[in-house]
Amino acid sequence: MDIAEIAATRMSTTELLDRLVAFDTTSRNSNLALIGFIRDYLDRFGVTYRISTNAAGNRSNLHAVIGPRTAGGLAFSGHVDTVPVDGQAWTADPFALRRRGGKLFARGSCDMKGFVAACLAAVPDFQALPLARPVHLFITYDEEVGCLGAQRLIEDMAESGLRPDLCVVGEPSRMKPILAHKGKLNVDVSVRGLTGHSSEPSKGVNAVQAAGEAIAWAAREARRLAVEGPFEDGFDPPHTTIHVGTVKGGTILNIIPEHAAFAMEWRPIPGDSAHRHLERMQAYIAQTIEPAMKAVHPACGFTCEVTLEMPGMALPADHALATVVKRVAGTNSAGKVAYGTEGGFYQNAGIPTIICGPGDIAQAHQPDEWIAESELVDCDRFIRRLAGQLLV
């Protein structure tokens, strides 16, 4: 493709963002139409890519390789699924990009189609570089529901052998490098009691009250961790946290509730294990709560089911990737965040990973989600300079 053809084909970051946000890729929906658009766009430039899909076949990842089609090089990673807009007070169509006061409004503009648009806009500039090592683009599905796409993409990389040496995840960080984030363990807890009339409580087992004892333990444990740690500077808060988010149980007041359930999470700092905290809770339940329940009926008790596990991420501050990203981003500092990303999965797959992307996480998932145009300009500059410094 000559210069004139490239000029006629290329699109700006804002133009691409306008196209990307028009696809409603809420995690419950298919993303195949959006991936089809990206495939058509990359086909114009002759970029090769691999597609990997979920078991249902209604969501796909795209792994593009620009430059030498080999392992090694640098990956830019972004997900294209979004959280729902249901029940949010949007002032206009969430899936139509609006510009006002230097801001671009739409669902996904910040988290994180803005970064994906910037990577796609840079494709012809990547191709113009004398790349000794490849640029990889990871475009994934279902990040918002457990990084399912990233895990499938890692499986596909094992098949293809096209694994990069380094990765930048462009989650919103206001273009500030992020070296580490916490992990996450989600657990659904079910309680089986024995029903009866509330006037004879000793003849039944109150599942709601049993659940309440476990929840009270979680509250005490959360306070203990805040005092005793372990701690890691740079996180807010600087320790592992516990949170109970939903509770269900009971029918009417004069019936002993037979069933109860609650959902909880641990967010451990890197180096801490959420499973050890889960085991502590299970031991407390087995030793303190369940004996009295089973004395009434042996079928009573608790069941804990892990529904989601996301690893933490920690890149050493003196790693070469941290050094060059800070230099290209124009900062001497790097931070840590409590939220999770796909970065932990890439790191566990042996790919040193850092987070650096446009937008503020405070705008993510909000009604009238927005990203500053100035940060997209900074992102455009950042990804081109980073590729030039690491891959040429």
- Residues annotated catalytic, as ranges: 81, 143
CA atoms lying within 13 Å on the CB side of residue 130: 1
Distance CA 119, CA 125 (A): 10
Q: How far apart are the first and last CA of the chain?
A: 21
Which whole-number Å values give the CA distances from 254 to 203, 207, 251, 348, in the listed order? Answer: 14, 14, 9, 51
Task: Count the Cβ atoms, other than its own, within 10 Å of residue 188.
Answer: 15
> Angle at Cα 7 formed by Cα 2 and Cα 12, nearest 5°?
140
Angle between helix 373-391 and 13-21 (nearest 10): 110
CB neighbour class for 366 (10 Å; exposed up to 12, middle 13-18, buried from 19):
middle
The alpha-carbon radius of gyration of the chain (Å, integer) is 24
Question: 181 and 340 in contact (C-beta within 8 Å)?
Answer: yes
Classify 43 as helix, strand or coil: helix
Question: 298 and 192 in contact (C-beta within 8 Å)?
Answer: no
Question: 290 and 211 in contact (C-beta within 8 Å)?
Answer: no
Distance CA 284, CA 72 (A): 48
Which whole-number Å values give the CA distances from 120 to 45, 77, 262, in the listed order? Answer: 11, 11, 42
The strand ranges marked E within the chain are: 48-53, 60-66, 74-79, 98-100, 103-105, 135-140, 166-169, 178-181, 184-192, 241-249, 259-267, 301-310, 313-314, 335-337, 353-355, 370-372
- Nearest CA to 72 out of 139, 162, 137, 167 is that of 162
- Give one DSSP letter per residue of 341-377, joined into a string: -THHHHHHTT--EEE--SS-GGGTTSTT-EEEHHHHH
